Structure 1
Amino acid sequence: MKLLSNSRYKKMRLALLIFSFVIMNAHFILAQEKVQIIPQPSSIGYGNGTFVLKDKVTINASEGLQNEVQFLSALLQKGFSKTPKLVKKGIGILLKIDESLKDKLGEEGYTLSVGRKGIYITGATATGVFYGIESFRQLLPVDFEFEKTYKSVKIPFIEITDKPRFPWRAFMLDESRHFKGKEAVKNILDQMSMFKMNTFHWHLTDDQGWRIEIKKYPKLTEIGSKRRDTQLSRKSEERVGEPHEGFYTQSEIKEILAYAESKHINVVPEIEMPGHATAAIAAYPWLSSMGVPQEVSVTFGKLDDSFNIADPKVVTFLTDVLDEVIKLFPGEVIHIGGDEVNFKPWEDSRIAQDFMSKNGLETPIDLQIYFTNQISNYIDSSGKRMMGWNEIMGTDIHEDDGKTSAEAKQKLAKSAIVHFWKGDLKLINEAVEQGYDVVNSNHWDTYLDYTYERTPLSKSYAFNPVPEGLNKEYHYRILGTGAQMWSEWIPTVASMEQQVFPRLAAYAEVGWTTLENKDFERFENTLKLIKQRWKLMGISFYEGD
């Protein structure tokens, strides 16, 4: 037998190694195709084999995970038609809190391991464990929660380590313009939960309706929650031809808050001030800057009147409202809007002008910042933080008369969170450099009432909340992003769903997934499975390009 030369042996050995690498890579790709999760996890490692999850599976959980056990049990019961038993040991599903992971994965990160001995979901907190369960949920067959009963399910051996890119991952629902009701809100919370979105921004007051019960001021809902008609389309004199109304009692809000808490979703209420105040003024005319009676607006846009914030009684009214809101909502942030204030009523008001002169306020923008700081300090005193749209910094982002208003001398309180929605992106840079935390919801990229022609799915997915060129030392000041569902022209739940889905999934990945792990083609492939789920759930979604 002819012996191979040393050089030929090395060449053959190298070829064999390359061949082995290709085979291993092929296995990696095949395995990877089995694991499709939105938002894409930080890292996924693949093993060789599958775990057979049977209908007699058991759950072993750490103390403090009763909510997570209940959620997982209900999920498995839907697919197996059996409620899993809770045990202290054995092969099955282990849910574990490991506080030592906090440095590595933060409050919301988790690990998900599937191997021969079972399924292990670990987080530094209950929130992390919950998100691990949501990822595990997407490993199950699409129809697992619907109709068909399974005896067993095969899950590939995997190791997932995951944590979010941003701490603020929000969806906003405007219910002032069109009231949707608590079942629609709960359904939205369900979808947010599946995609690990942690903040529900609830727009509850505006010109066209006051949607939250305030016990000290009952007319806010007796009068302010009802309008006699609704504008049919933009800049149109046509009307729908029927009244619109609705509001949440505080008892109903508590029910929704408890539901959100079970999904690890924080609820941020938005109570608009000092503009977008017509519904409140209709209920209590003495709140008006113009001094004339108003009705709950049937038209949309930037309206004339606003709260007369130069009157101490009006400021007391607003802090009274905030007292009930602060007591009701357990979260750390109260949103006060602060956008699209019409300054002409203050310019024409002797009360406002005297107040400005007395307090050294040179412009209406200064008056707004002065008031906003009063409210910010009041909210701070309760242990919470104020948030508002980026007009609260004093920049005229509208330039309605073709020129920028005089620069404000007043400076916004540093504790305020600036919610950017409009204007030059350099305003974000200026805000963070001045020490403000910012949530970036640039309307061109995140407004869900915009058509898919204007904001296609690919544009939603491509959005980066950190502006290009922002110095890295300020990146931590960008808390995250929000997707806004304004409802002026979105009257029904079905029409709302068409606007929200599938773009909500894209915004979830914007908020959670690192830039290097984003891949639109991979996202679209995974989205096909999510769409199958939505169909089974009865959710309407946009199916165009």
Structure 2
Amino acid sequence: MMSKILVRCLLGLSILLPALGMAAGISIIPQPRQLQLEQGSYRLDAHTRVAAPKDARGREIAAFLREAIRAQTGIAVREGDAAHGIELKLDPAVQGAEAYRLAVTPKRITVSAATDKGLFWGVQTLRQLLPLEHAAQVTVPAVTIEDAPAYAWRGVMLDVARHFYPVSFIEKQLDLLSYYKINTFHWHLTDDQGWRIEIKRYPKLTSVGAWRTEADGTRYGGFYTQAQIREVVNYARERNITVIPEIEMPGHSVAAIAAYPELSCSKQPATVPTTWGVFKNIDCVGDEGTFTFLQNVLDEVLPLFPSKYVHIGGDEVPKDDWHDCASCQALMHKLGLKDEEGLQSYFIQHIQKYLEGKGKTMIGWDEILEGGASKNAVVEVWRGDDEARKALENGNRVIVAGPFYLDSPLLKLTVQNVFRTDITGAAPTPYTEAKPENAAIIAAHRAQILGAEAPLWSERANPYNAESKLYPRALAFAENLWRGNAHDDAAWADFHQRLEAQYPRLDAWHVAYGPEDRAVVQYAITVDAKGGWQLHAQRGFDDLVNHYTLDGSTPSAKSPSFTDSVVVPHAGTLQVVPFRKGLRYDNPTSFTLVDNLATGKPLSLAQPPSPKYAPASALTDGVLGSGDFRDGQWVGWNDHDIDASIDLQKSTTIHSIAVNFLQDTGSRILAPRQVSFQVSGDGQHWTALQTEQPQADVMSARPAEFHLVFKASKPLSARYVRVTASRYANVPAGFPDGAANTWLFADEILVK
């Protein structure tokens, strides 16, 4: 197992980075607390021996170091005692569970720590001091380092439910995270869109719940066997990383309900969702069978993870079904609870007591405080300072996650933002502003702050683009949590200089890291005045190359390429993928290009669309939108009807007029109540052609697309085309918050 990482990562480093070593200076991340550069250097060669404690972990760490030296320098050092070798030793005088001392002199190298955790971190620091060259002998600069982290919890979370990641990908990330002294891997294993862990007692969780049928009919999914889980957990352990499993409950559980519908209050069949958001279908608190099921699941999960912590989610729990559920209401009255928030507290405390009986400590997102939570639970705060304050004042220990959401755009959460965030003060999140009035209270409870976590949610992350979201921000995160202070300009300048020295290492390890403060690439397509279209790429790296196809196939590194723009001469399915240094950086971005008599023609609107989404010109650019209203092709109106007129600039023979609309009630997007098609010769006098009323169920949570078409029984001539769409003025009583603040989303008025 240990040789796998070092062959995969370090061997490439030695080949691609000759003779940097001392020329690059000492650029350790995270920066040690104390580093003193001494006189001279240590000469490492085939005569060097590595001595270590005789216990199993000590021998394991020594073997890790020997293989690292061989892969990075080409020098095969052996185990054994030597007067001028490398000694790894346990020393109770070193204070701190993860603290270490590293002394490099011209005669020997000594790594000392009171624990094997500290000993391993000392080895990781020594790796960063090794020169990056293959040679018969190499030199290591003489230094004295005293080091320990500021925070005990330095975690990264990966959501494998929305998109699945193979074991090889996860182990590569564990290699990298350990190198920068991240010590916790939070594995988000279940959610609405997929159940990813084998539970032998409930095989449908993986035969049904691990798979979903996408809009194009393809089957997507995957899961980890229990053997694979054990492999990953052990792989992490070898690298000083604790793996924390997360099994979501009572919300974000549709995948489990799809497998076993009896878990829900309705007991009705469900399908694994293909879209994101919050779903009302949740575990039924009023059915004792729900707790039996969850406890049986946990009985299989807990032995796979030695960690004393288990994460149960607990976030974003809509309680509509509990409100309408007779058994839930009976339980609420039996327990004397005021409302459904009390039911959530009952649910969480039930699971917490069960876990405590198994010797485990429960972690949950900050919603577990709703209705009241035991102070023994650890609260992972994602909704900002107010929730952190509430948890700390309740006596809970806290993990800060909100400021470090790595799925945030690189433009919004830059490397510098991550570095400068002080988790003991007020800090913004993707959802909330910083509230300075909370800073003093949070700082006063510093002892309850375990540390922080950087979550990577995978709605828009996948195995190709995840590394560009993780790195280099994870390096700034590691520095922040290890040092715990010094977020000023001078500290940033120092860190940034050391960060620059890490990029060649990441290149050698074939890491598809992203820019520091801009998107990897942003694509835009425009109508070409000479016919066809132009595809534009705003690149985050000067050496990024875009490969594309025009037949709908996935581009490879051998496909045609461009840097900033390319002409697309004809309609078809355009796919484009960014590549850099031979690495693919994302799944394809797709544009469906269609011939449209209205393409590029003047467009008039009675009411302008929202500037938050695509511009009005997207209605007549010959590019069809996908099922995602955020894709830059869908034009949105908030609380307004649509009235769009197109000037074809001459009398034109028309066979059909079509327009597409979206419905996604979770985002308050409704299909129109009514759509009409009209034509005119002068733009003043209109002839009605057809009125349609889409057969849309506004109470359905399932996103849908509506394609409305007028087809002429015989060709007609007109210069102007008009499409109007009216929204719902009234909706059923069960629709949340009524018809106010609802949206119409339209794309491509297609004239043929």
TM-score bucket of the superposed structures, by smaller chain: 0.7 to 0.9
Partner SS, residue 515 of structure 1: coil
Q: What CA distance in whole angstroms lies between the structure 2 residues aligned with 1:117 and 1:62? A: 20
Match of 2:374 in 1: 413
Match of 2:412 in 1: 454
1:163 Cα offset (Å): 0.3
Partner SS, residue 522 of structure 1: helix
1:98 aligned onto 2:82: no
Match of 1:515 in 2: 485
1:205 aligned onto 2:190: yes
Q: What CA distance in whole angstroms lies between the structure 2 residues aligned with 1:196 and 1:335? A: 22
Percent identity, aligned pairs only, is: 37
1:529 aligned onto 2:529: no
Query: Equivalent of 1:126, from 111, 116, 124?
Result: 116
1:201 Cα offset (Å): 0.1
How is 1:9-158 mapped onto 2 (pairs within 5 angstroms)?
34-64=25-55, 65-101=58-94, 104=95, 106-141=96-131, 143-144=132-133, 149-158=134-143
Q: What CA distance in whole angstroms lies between the structure 2 residues aligned with 1:319 and 1:358? A: 23
Q: What CA distance in whole angstroms lies between the structure 2 residues aligned with 1:349 and 1:341? A: 15
Structure 1 unpaired stretches of 5+? 1-30, 230-238, 395-407
1:262 aligned onto 2:233: no
Q: What CA distance in whole angstroms lies between the structure 2 residues aligned with 1:367 and 1:310? A: 9
1:55 touches 1:80 (CA, 8 Å); kept in 2? no
2:349 touches 2:373 (CA, 8 Å); kept in 1? yes
Aligned residue type for 2:383: K
1:470 Cα offset (Å): 3.1
Deviations 1:394-448 (A, max 9, x none): 0xxxxxxxxxxxxx3xx3122100000014x133223222211000111xx2111
Q: What CA distance in whole angstroms lies between the structure 1 residues aligned with 2:73 and 2:181? A: 25
Partner SS, residue 302 of structure 1: coil
Query: Equivalent of 1:434, from 391, 394, 400?
Result: 394
Q: What CA distance in whole angstroms lies between the structure 2 residues aligned with 1:457 and 1:544? A: 5
Give the structure-1-normalised TM-score: 0.85
Q: What CA distance in whole angstroms lies between the structure 2 residues aligned with 1:282 and 1:33? A: 55
Q: What CA distance in whole angstroms lies between the structure 2 residues aligned with 1:447 and 1:177? A: 16
Q: What CA distance in whole angstroms lies between the structure 1 residues aligned with 2:129 and 2:47? A: 18
1:42 touches 1:517 (CA, 8 Å); kept in 2? no
1:526 Cα offset (Å): 1.2
How is 1:223-242 mapped onto 2 (pairs within 5 angstroms)?
223-229=208-214, 239=215, 242=218
Higher relative contact order (CA 8 A, sep 6+): 1
- Greater share of strand residues, 1 or 2? 2
Partner SS, residue 317 of structure 2: coil
Partner SS, residue 39 of structure 2: strand
Q: What CA distance in whole angstroms lies between the structure 1 residues aligned with 2:277 and 2:328? A: 24
Query: Equivalent of 1:485, from 456, 476, 489?
Result: 456
Q: What CA distance in whole angstroms lies between the structure 2 residues aligned with 1:221 and 1:175? A: 14
Query: Equivalent of 1:504, from 461, 474, 488?
Result: 474
Q: What CA distance in whole angstroms lies between the structure 1 residues aligned with 2:358 and 2:228? A: 23
How is 1:67-466 mapped onto 2 (pairs within 5 angstroms)?
67-101=60-94, 104=95, 106-141=96-131, 143-144=132-133, 149-229=134-214, 239=215, 242-394=218-370, 408=371, 411-423=372-384, 425-442=385-402, 445-466=403-424
Match of 1:15 in 2: none
Partner SS, residue 95 of structure 1: strand
1:521 Cα offset (Å): 1.2
1:319 Cα offset (Å): 0.8
The alignment's C-alpha RMSD in Å is 1.6
Aligned residue type for 1:503: R
Q: What CA distance in whole angstroms lies between the structure 1 residues aligned with 2:38 and 2:279? A: 61
Q: 1:297 to 1:381 in 2, by over 3 A?
A: same
- Greater share of helix residues, 1 or 2? 1
1:205 touches 1:272 (CA, 8 Å); kept in 2? yes
Give the structure-2-normalised TM-score: 0.62
Q: 1:453 to 1:47 in 2, by over 3 A?
A: same
Aligned residue type for 2:483: T
Partner SS, residue 169 of structure 2: helix
1:211 touches 1:246 (CA, 8 Å); kept in 2? yes
Match of 1:11 in 2: none
Q: What CA distance in whole angstroms lies between the structure 1 residues aligned with 2:43 and 2:386? A: 53
Partner SS, residue 267 of structure 1: strand
Aligned residue type for 1:124: A
1:82 Cα offset (Å): 3.8
Q: What CA distance in whole angstroms lies between the structure 1 residues aligned with 2:68 and 2:508? A: 15
Partner SS, residue 481 of structure 1: strand
Q: 1:74 to 1:517 in 2, by over 3 A?
A: farther
Q: What CA distance in whole angstroms lies between the structure 1 residues aligned with 2:452 and 2:32? A: 18
1:55 touches 1:150 (CA, 8 Å); kept in 2? no
Deviations 1:261-308 (A, max 9, x none): 101110000000000010000000100123321101111101111000
1:60 touches 1:86 (CA, 8 Å); kept in 2? yes
2:75 touches 2:137 (CA, 8 Å); kept in 1? no
Moved more, 311-320 or 81-90: 81-90
Quick check: which has more Rg, 1 or 2? 2
Q: 1:288 to 1:83 in 2, by over 3 A?
A: same
Structure 2 unpaired stretches of 5+? 1-21, 426-438, 518-752
Q: What CA distance in whole angstroms lies between the structure 2 residues aligned with 1:451 and 1:217? A: 38
Aligned residue type for 1:255: E
1:474 aligned onto 2:470: no
1:544 Cα offset (Å): 5.1
2:45 touches 2:77 (CA, 8 Å); kept in 1? no
Q: What CA distance in whole angstroms lies between the structure 1 residues aligned with 2:513 and 2:30? A: 18
1:81 Cα offset (Å): 2.9
1:162 Cα offset (Å): 0.3
Deviations 1:90-120 (A, max 9, x none): 102111111232xx2x111100111122111
